[in-house]
Every structure is written in C-alpha cells, then in structure tokens.
C-alpha cells in the first residue's frame, strides 16, 4: 500500500489512491453539469473551468438549433404541397 503521495507517480499505476478519487470526482462533477444543461436546469454555482463552460454553451446552442428545426418541420408538414 502506498503511504505517501509522490506527484511524480500521478497518472501511473503507482499513484496515490486519492489521485484517482480526485479524477473520478472531477469527471462526475462535469457529467452532472452537462446533465443539468441537457435537462434545461438553471446552472447553479460557478463553472470555473473555461472548457466546461464552452461545452455548456455548445450544448445550449445545439439544443436551440434542434428546437428551431422541430418548429420548421411542423410548419413544413402543415403546408399543402402542390405537385
């Protein structure tokens, strides 16, 4: 069992177990924030990581575009087509 934390070993099989708990926690936190965006929940707290905030904006834009396409599809289906 590893009894001390050696930063040189981070990301290797010999890393301190806390290193991997921190990695898992970070991934879980990012997944929670992405899920909140997908569910349309307001973002609470702050996103201090610029890449995560960029992803949030991209997801919101994709969802907005998808909603507009759904509206357009409904409009097109309501229009009679003369052949």
Residue spans of the domains in the chain: they are 7-78
CA count, 13 A, side-chain hemisphere, 27: 6
In this prediction, residue 64 carries a pLDDT of: 93
Residue in 53, 15, 56 with CA at minimum distance from that of residue 39: 56
Band of pLDDT at residue 1, cut at 50, 70 and 90:
low
pLDDT tens digits, one per residue of 10-64: 878 887 777 778 888 888 888 888 888 888 787 666 566 778 778 888 988 999 9
- Has this prediction a pTM greater than 0.85? no
Those residues whose C-beta lies under 8 Å from the C-beta of residue 56, and which sit 6 or more positions away, are: 33, 34, 37, 43, 47
In this prediction, residue 83 carries a pLDDT of: 67
Tokens of residue 23, six digits:
């990695």
């Amino acid at each position: 069992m590893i009894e001390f934390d050696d930063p040189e070993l981070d990301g290797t099989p010999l890393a301190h177990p806390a290193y991997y708990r921190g990695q898992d926690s970070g991934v879980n936190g990012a997944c929670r924030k992405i899920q909140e965006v997908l569910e349309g929940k307001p973002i609470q707290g702050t996103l201090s990581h610029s890449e995560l905030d960029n992803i949030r904006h991209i997801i919101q834009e994709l969802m907005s575009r998808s909603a507009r396409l759904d509206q357009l599809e409904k409009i097109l289906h309501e229009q009679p087509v003369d052949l």
